[in-house]
Every structure is written in structure tokens, then in C-alpha cells.
């Protein structure tokens, strides 16, 4: 399934006239900082770009997006719900994920 996602992502980017040039190494664990964040389209283009080079990254997203059926879709795509209305140990939770997984990449 990974190769299909990679090929489909490349095709969508190609017909949309986007070009991905990757000069970063494929690390087992990393934080990907995406900026500037101007619209929800940034997520779509970023996800397609990362998939097109054969990599997978989770992402932080407001918990408000996690309702049926979108919760299943976002979880399968690597979505990590964030409740911004109250203080949580989000940094500690992400650090715990890094400790317990051999490969873990997250986009913020």
C-alpha cells in the first residue's frame, strides 16, 4: 500500500504542477516544522509531498476535527488530536511516543 500512496501522491503533485526536492536524510525520529501555516491546504500539500518521497509523518491537529467519520480517517493518516482549550502534557506525550517507537516523525 505504501508504494501506491507514494505513486498517487507524485501523480497528484505532478498534475498540480508542484515539484518536490528533498535534501534531508530519512531519519528514524524527527520533528518537522511546517511554516508558515496559511490555510488547511498547507496540510494537504505537505502530506502529499512527504508521501511522494516515501515517508510517513504523524501530525498534530485540533481535537475538534476528531468526530465520526473523520476521526478514523485522521487516525489512519497519523493524526494526533490536541485539546487546546485546556493545559495538557502534550510535549511529554510526544516525548513518550519518541521513546516507545523505533520510527516516529511528527509534523507541527
Sheet with 104-107, side-by-side order of all strands: 29-32, 104-107, 58-62, 79-82
State the pLDDT at residue 94: 84
For the chain, the domain total comes to 1
Tell me the residue range of the domain where 72 lies.
Answer: 2-107
What percent of the chain has a predicted confidence (pLDDT) above 70? 99
Distance, in Å, from the CA atom of 108 to the CA atom of 95, rounded to the nearest integer, reads: 14
Q: Determine the Cα–Cα distance for residues 64 and 60; give it in Å rounded to an integer.
A: 12
Q: What is the mean pLDDT of residues 43-49?
A: 87
Position 33 scores a pLDDT of: 80
DSSP 39-54: STHHHHHHHHHHHHTT
- pLDDT-derived band at 1, boundaries 50, 70, 90: low
Query: How are beta strands 29-32 and 58-62 bridged, if at all?
Result: unpaired
Amino acid at each position: 500500500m505504501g508504494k501506491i500512496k507514494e505513486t498517487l501522491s507524485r501523480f497528484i503533485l505532478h498534475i498540480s504542477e508542484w515539484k518536490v526536492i528533498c535534501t534531508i536524510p530519512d531519519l528514524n525520529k524527527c520533528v518537522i516544522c511546517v511554516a508558515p501555516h496559511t490555510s488547511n491546504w498547507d496540510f494537504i500539500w505537505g502530506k502529499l509531498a512527504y508521501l511522494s518521497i516515501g515517508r510517513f509523518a504523524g501530525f498534530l491537529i485540533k481535537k475538534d476535527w476528531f468526530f465520526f467519520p473523520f476521526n478514523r480517517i485522521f487516525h489512519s493518516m497519523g493524526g494526533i488530536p490536541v485539546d487546546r482549550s485546556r493545559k495538557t502534557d502534550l510535549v511529554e506525550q510526544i516525548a513518550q511516543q519518541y521513546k516507545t517507537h523505533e520510527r516516529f516523525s511528527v509534523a507541527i
